[in-house]
Amino acid sequence: MHTSERSILKDQVFLRMALEISRLGTCCRLKVGCILLRPDGGIASGGFNGALPGMPHCTPETCGPDKRCLHTSHAEENALGFSEGLVSTAYVTDEPCLTCTRALVRRGVRRVVFLRPYTSLAEQEKAERSAILGHFNVQWEQVNLEA
C-alpha cells in the first residue's frame, strides 16, 4: 500500500470512528463525534456531544432542528478533556465552531478533518476562525467517505 493510499485509509477509519462515537451524543439537534490523535499517530481520545455529567440530557423542548442547542458540551471539548498532552489531528463528524477551533489549536492540533460543514457560522466567526487557522498553519479538510 502506497503512502498516499495509507493516508486516505487512515482518514476514512478515524472519521468512521468519529461517526460511531457520535451515536452516543445526547443532543436532539445534532450528534457529533471527535477522535483526537497524538503527534505519534496514536489515538489520544474520543468524545461526543452531550450534557455535562449529572445534568439532564436534551429534550425536544430544550433543543431541536430549529433551535441552537446551548445544553451540551461539544464533542471536541469532551475529547480534549479526556486526553493529556499534545494532540496533532482532530477527526470530527462536523466542522468545529470557533470556540472548539481555539481549544484544538491551543492543544497542538494542526490538522482538522471533518465530514460536514458548519453551515450556521456567522461571517465574523468565520473570519476569526480563518485568521486562527492561517496564523497557526492548520490544515482544514472536508472529506467525503463515499469517495
**Count of domains forming the chain:** 1
- Residue 129 is classified by DSSP as H
User: Is 95 inside a domain boundary?
Assistant: yes
In a domain, 147, yes or no: no
**CATH number, domain at 28?**
3.40.140.10
Q: Per the domain annotation, does 90 fall within a domain?
A: yes
Contacts of 97 (CB under 8 A, 6+ apart): 74, 118, 121, 125
Q: Output b/e per residue, 67-98; b: 16+ Cβ within 10 A.
A: eebebbbbbbbbbbeebeeebbbbbbbbbbbb
Domain presence at residue 34: yes
In a domain? residue 17: yes
Which residues sit opposite 47 in a β-bridge? 34
Please check whether residue 47 lies inside any domain of the structure. yes
Q: Is 107 a member of any domain? A: yes
Range of the domain at 75: 3-142
Q: How many CA atoms lie within 13 A of 85 on its CB side?
A: 9
Q: What pLDDT does residue 146 have?
A: 76
Is the residue at 119 inside a domain?
A: yes
pTM for this predicted structure: 0.92
* Mean pLDDT per 10-residue segment, the chain (147 residues): 84 97 90 97 96 82 72 92 95 96 97 92 91 97 85
